[in-house]
């Protein structure tokens, strides 16, 4: 084994140990924030596959996030399924619904998917508000904590392990997919649709696969969101949330493996850091988006490189 490879393994081993030890040493509040961060990571890693790699824009990720949250919560509350079954069911529900909207809207090229998903988000949100018998409307739902035998995952620290391990698994899976023929097909769609067809890639099929993966990730993250907060409310799944998901990957770095993490961290910490300036949140987000598009069009992930270039010039 080469020395570089060995060092790399040691580096990741230390990072992994730090993350596994985090709930033991950190304050509950920070563990809760880490939970929100990993949930945001799952959504943005999935969305990055669709938007950053395959070049298709979705403005409806919050709807899938919500579909996952409500499906898994309702499976637990109404049917009494265990969390471990409800969570994947939520993911599958999101993926299934994405197939239904993806089929007609991805057959046509351009920005249809963005428009259709935007409308879809509004519809799903309205259903959450008005289907009171099922969703409890704007009173929201109390999601029970996962159980394993006698053990109840009620503390932030115990939920952290569920969320962190699933996020880690989903990140590795995304990385592997991007290195496969499926991943190359996604990138080829963004780079040149004609060339991609000419080497035998079925455009519509791969657009739909990318959309389904992103919806699956968002829905699983939604199920985790429900247990992290123990409470869900239609407002968590509004169009504004979809826009924030999109901003995470644009500001973090579209089409990069690690960009989504930076975006997810930024948008998890910002609302907390804003504190009493909370009312100006949307204004501040707009400024951040503008500034990043003007000064860092390829995302915060490229910031070190840009800084190095600037200092060299000086």
Partner 1 sequence: MFLEVRNLSVNFGGVKALGNIFLDVSEGQVRSVIGPNGAGKTTLFNVISGLIRPDSGSIIFDGEEIIGEKPWEISKKGIARTFQNSQLFITMTALENVATGMHSHICSGVFSSALAVPAFRREESAAFEEAKRLMEFVGLKGFEDFASSSLAFGQQRLLELARALATDPRMLLLDEPVAGMNYEEKQRLALLLIKIREELGITILLVEHDIKWVMQVSDLISVLDYGEKIAEGEPMEIKKDERVIEAYLGKRRKIA
Is residue 289 within 8 Å of residue 247, measured between CB atoms?
A: yes
When the beta carbons of 7 and 198 are compared against partner 1, the nearer one is 198
If binding is defined by CB under 8 A, does position 47 make contact with partner 1?
A: no
If binding is defined by CB under 8 A, does position 209 make contact with partner 1?
A: yes
When the beta carbons of 166 and 265 are compared against partner 1, the nearer one is 166
Draw the binding track, 253-292, toward partner 1 (x: CB under 8 A; -: no contact).
--x-------------------------------------
In whole angstroms, give the CA distance from residue 262 to residue 253: 8
If binding is defined by CB under 8 A, does position 28 make contact with partner 1?
A: no
If binding is defined by CB under 8 A, does position 197 make contact with partner 1?
A: yes
Which residue in the set 45, 124, 201, 262 belongs to the binding site for partner 1 (CB under 8 A)? 201
When the beta carbons of 136 and 256 are compared against partner 1, the nearer one is 256
Residues numbered 241-260 forming contacts with partner 1, rule: CB under 8 A: 255
If binding is defined by CB under 8 A, does position 183 make contact with partner 1?
A: yes
Please report how many Cα atoms fall inside a 13 Å half-sphere around the Cα of residue 85, on the Cβ side: 8
When the beta carbons of 54 and 87 are compared against partner 1, the nearer one is 54
Which residue in the set 77, 154, 190, 303 belongs to the binding site for partner 1 (CB under 8 A)? 190
Which residue in the set 10, 173, 307, 309 belongs to the binding site for partner 1 (CB under 8 A)? 173
When the beta carbons of 34 and 178 are compared against partner 1, the nearer one is 178
If binding is defined by CB under 8 A, does position 180 make contact with partner 1?
A: yes
CB of residue 191 to partner 1, shortest distance in Å:
4
Q: Which residues bind partner 1 (CB under 8 A)?
A: 173-174, 176-177, 179-185, 187-188, 190-192, 194-203, 209, 213, 255
């Amino acid at each position: 084994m080469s020395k570089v490879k060995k060092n790399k393994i040691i580096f990741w081993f230390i990072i992994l140990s730090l993350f596994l030890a985090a709930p033991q040493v950190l304050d509950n509040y920070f563990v809760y924030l880490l939970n929100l961060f990993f949930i945001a990571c799952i959504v943005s890693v999935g969305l990055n596959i669709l938007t950053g790699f395959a070049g298709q824009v979705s403005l409806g990720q919050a709807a899938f996030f919500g579909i996952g949250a409500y499906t898994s919560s309702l499976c637990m509350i109404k049917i009494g399924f265990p969390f471990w079954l409800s969570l994947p069911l939520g993911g599958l529900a999101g993926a299934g619904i994405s197939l239904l909207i993806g089929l007609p809207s991805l057959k046509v090229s351009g920005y249809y998917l963005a428009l259709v998903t935007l409308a879809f988000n509004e519809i799903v949100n309205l259903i959450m508000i008005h289907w009171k018998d099922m969703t409890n409307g704007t009173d929201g739902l109390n999601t029970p904590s996962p159980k394993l035998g006698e053990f109840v995952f009620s503390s932030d620290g115990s939920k952290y392990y569920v969320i962190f391990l699933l996020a880690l698994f989903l990140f590795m899976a995304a990385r592997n997919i991007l290195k496969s023929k499926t991943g190359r097909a996604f990138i080829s769609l963004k780079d040149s649709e004609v060339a991609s067809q000419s080497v035998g890639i079925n455009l519509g099929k791969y657009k739909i696969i990318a959309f389904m993966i992103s919806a699956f990730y968002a829905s699983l993250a939604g199920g985790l969101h429900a247990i992290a907060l123990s409470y869900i409310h239609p407002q968590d799944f509004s169009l504004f949330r979809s826009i924030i998901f999109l901003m995470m990957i644009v500001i973090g770095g579209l089409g990069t493996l690690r960009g989504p993490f930076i975006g997810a961290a930024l948008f998890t910490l910002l609302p907390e850091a804003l504190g009493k300036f909370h009312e100006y949140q949307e204004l501040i987000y707009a400024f951040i988006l503008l500034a990043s598009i003007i000064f860092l069009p390829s995302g915060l992930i490229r910031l070190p490189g840009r800084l190095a270039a600037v200092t060299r010039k000086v």
